Structure 1
Amino acid sequence: EDAPQLIWTYPDNVEITVTNPTSSSNWLEINMYPIQWTSTGDIEDVKIELYKGATFVEEITDLFGYTTNDGSYDFYVSSAENYDGIDYRIKITDYDDPNVYGYSDFFSINVRSGTITVTSPRGSSLWQAGTMQSITWTSTGNILNVDIEIYKGTVLVYYIYDVSNFGVKLWDIDEDIETGTDWKVKISNSDNSGQFDWSYNFEITSAGEGGAILGYSFYIILTISMISFAIIIRRFKRRC
């Protein structure tokens, strides 16, 4: 009789590939985002974890410790106080075999970026001491707050930080402010000081000298304030 033959069987190739987030993802606070993956082989449940660099942050599937291997799981990003950086990764592991896992690309959480353009004051602006003037700007991207700094020459004279990025801030100019033609405004992203813009140099004159027509300035300020209020209400309604 022939000797019995041994038949070796090999398990299917088991693999997990994280497809979302990607390297271009930037997840912002108070939002829900889908973690997505594909897998091969016999994987019933998976465990999902969040890392910052090589450091473990938290287990995302902490309620039961696992979730069904259906390729998607929603992750709620809470306050920026909990998450902030550009080197986060998602790790997904076969719940029954810790040797089978996959990492996402590095991605960002709560990194607010964009561009800023100061639109007022302009180089031709002539502002009087003792008047109210509007500092205005435009921005792109997802900038939440800005820092406003007012310089005379190279000297920082006034500043206000973490201003809501609504594109306008009223400045009540002191009556005894130093006059001159070398005033300028710098507006920066509060979350990224490398993103900023300068106004052109503008002039501040003594109270009572030539410059802005007070009634006209008041009309402009009132109009901008009403627009800003409408934007705030609209954003509030969207959040609700």
Structure 2
Amino acid sequence: MLGLCLASSLSALASSMRVTDGNGDALPDVVIFGISEQADVSADTGEASQIHIMDQIERQFSPQLLVIRPGDSVTFPNSDSIRHHVYSFSEVRPFEFQLFARGEAPKIDFPEVGFVTVGCNIHDDMIGHIIVSDVGQTYRSIENGRVEGITLQPQLAWYFWHPWMSAAGYGPLLVAEHLEDDVLTVPVTRPPEREASRLEQRFRRRLQHDH
């Protein structure tokens, strides 16, 4: 079953749109993707499965968002010098990788369509999202916030996501609820820079000293 309600969908198609943040400024790198409203069971796309990577770098998931197909797998390599404890309570695919060190890369498959939120049991500010979509086409806004050549079929539920949304506590949101006159407003602004922990500061000083 999907982790979020897919009842809302777009009533009209759009060939282009402009994406802005909460201040009305152009916002690049917003990902727009669709999910079938009937996608409540495992989906067989007939395509060969792929392996994706969600790395852990400087106590953050990288990338913070993956859009994959049903049946694909994701590996979680640890590129940090500290251990991580990666988990998800998402209904679509709950899992847990207990403390694992640098160089280890546990893997898990995602057979069902839906949203998966990933966290680290040690570092609360580590949040990632995995979108398992049976719709092959995704879109991304460019530097001026424009998305051109976009076709949002009304029979699908269309969502959007941007890395700033994690800092504000948002998962993916419905396009239909934030689109007006071909302007998609992402209800966030640039988050403040995260202050490095004492451990990170010591680690960076050590790297500078070594080089």
**TM over 0.5, yes or no?**
no
Normalising by structure 2, what TM-score?
A: 0.30
> Greater strand share, 1 or 2?
1
Normalising by structure 1, what TM-score?
A: 0.27
Q: Which has the larger radius of gyration?
A: 1
Higher relative contact order (CA 8 A, sep 6+): 2
